[in-house]
Structure formats: structure tokens, C-alpha cells
Amino acid sequence: MAKASGKIFGFDSHKSIRTDFLETIPYKGETQDITFETDELSAVCPFSGLPDFSNLNIQYVPNKHIVELKSLKYYLISFRNVGIYQEELTDRIYKDMKNLLKPKSIRIETNYNVRGGIFTTCVIDSEKAKK
């Protein structure tokens, strides 16, 4: 048996997620769709302690505010050592962004790297939630 078999690495709690990093900018322009994409989102699987890597797509229609990008980057980095399941991470980002921006609509999609031969995609869309 491999020496690493059964090894679990430690991870941080959800309290380490830094929503206080998020900042907004007032927006008074025309209605538009805004999309942010990154392939640098990572967190830790609380079951195995191994890292989960994901592509993240945030789409929203602003109401009165837009998110400041550097603050978004720092917020996303704060997930790096947090033990959180993939579905929970998607839900957490959705709720944090919705609470911060109060947008007309918002959609969060995470596409995780393959784990055990299974690709995982999680999507939360405020338009579907209204129905």
C-alpha cells in the first residue's frame, strides 16, 4: 500500500472566506450583460483534503453596482485553503455576489477538473430560481 493512502491534509473552515474583500463601484449606465471568467478558482475537498480546481463563470445584469475586479480576485483567492464541497462553493459564490450586487439577474457556473473520471458542472441561475 502506498504511504500516502488514507492521508488527509488539513484545511480551513468557511470562516476563512473573505467576503469583506468584495467592493462595488456605482453603476448608472445602460442595461448590459457582464461576464467574468477565470480558471484559477480552487478550494479543498473536505472529504479527501485534496485540492479542487475549477473554471468559474459569473454572469450578471447590474442594478446599481458592479463588482471591483481586484476585490473579486482576492475574494476568490480566499477559497484556496477552505474545505468546501463543489456544490457548496457554487452556492456560496452565488449568494455572496447576489447579496453584494443585488443585480437584476445573476448566473454562477463552476466547471471542475475531472475527479475519478467524473467532470462536475454546477450552475445556479436567478432566472430559474424565480420560476
pTM: 0.91
Q: Is 122 a catalytic residue?
A: no
Which domains occur in the chain, in start order?
A: 17-129 (3.30.1130.10)
Per-residue pLDDT tens digits for 88-98? 999 999 999 99
Mean pLDDT over 66-83 rounds to 98
Q: Which has more confidence, 114 or 77?
A: 77
Match 479542487 to its residue by C-alpha cell.
52
Per-residue pLDDT tens digits for 3-32? 666 666 788 899 999 999 999 999 999 999
- E-strand ranges in 45-96 read 51-61, 65-67
Considering the candidates 12, 33, 39, 45, report the single residue annotated as catalytic.
45
Considering the candidates 20, 52, 96, 122, report the single residue annotated as catalytic.
52
Least confident among 28-42, 50-64, 87-101, 114-128: 114-128
